[in-house]
């Protein structure tokens, strides 16, 4: 069986309303590695975490370096960690 090279996806382009959800029909299909499988998804659910992420209810400013605290002990938050933005900001 030959796998397609592209697939449809709904992409979140930023925090905000439904206008931040974009239908793309040219997303590359992931290529499974040895011991992995590729599953075709016909539909999926949307839950409160999806909605809260889209609206920006969770912090928008957390950066990739936040995890460094796990290896450096509990020294407190740094400026790179961002701040809570609140549900209505």
Q: What's 43-79 look like in SS3?
A: CCCCCHHHHHHHHCCCCCCCCHHHHHHHHHCCCCCCH
Cα pseudo-dihedral 67, 68, 71, 73, rounded to 10: -100
For the chain, give every domain's residue range.
1-30+40-56
Q: Please, which residues have CB within 8 angstroms of residue 86's CB and are 6 or more apart in sequence?
A: 57
Assessment of whether the complete model's pTM goes beyond 0.75 = no
Question: How far is residue 44's CA from residue 73's CA, in Å, rounded to a whole number?
Answer: 38
Which mean pLDDT values do the consecutive 10-residue runs of the chain (89 residues) have?
90 90 94 92 90 80 51 51 53
């Amino acid at each position: 069986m030959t796998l397609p090279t592209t697939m449809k996806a709904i992409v979140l382009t930023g925090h905000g309303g439904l206008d931040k959800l974009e239908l793309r029909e040219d997303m590359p299909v992931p290529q499974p590695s040895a011991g992995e499988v590729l599953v075709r998804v016909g539909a999926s659910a949307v839950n409160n975490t999806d909605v809260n992420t889209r609206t920006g209810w969770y912090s928008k400013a957390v950066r990739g370096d936040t995890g460094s605290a796990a290896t450096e002990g509990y020294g407190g938050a740094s400026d790179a960690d961002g701040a809570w933005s609140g549900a209505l900001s």
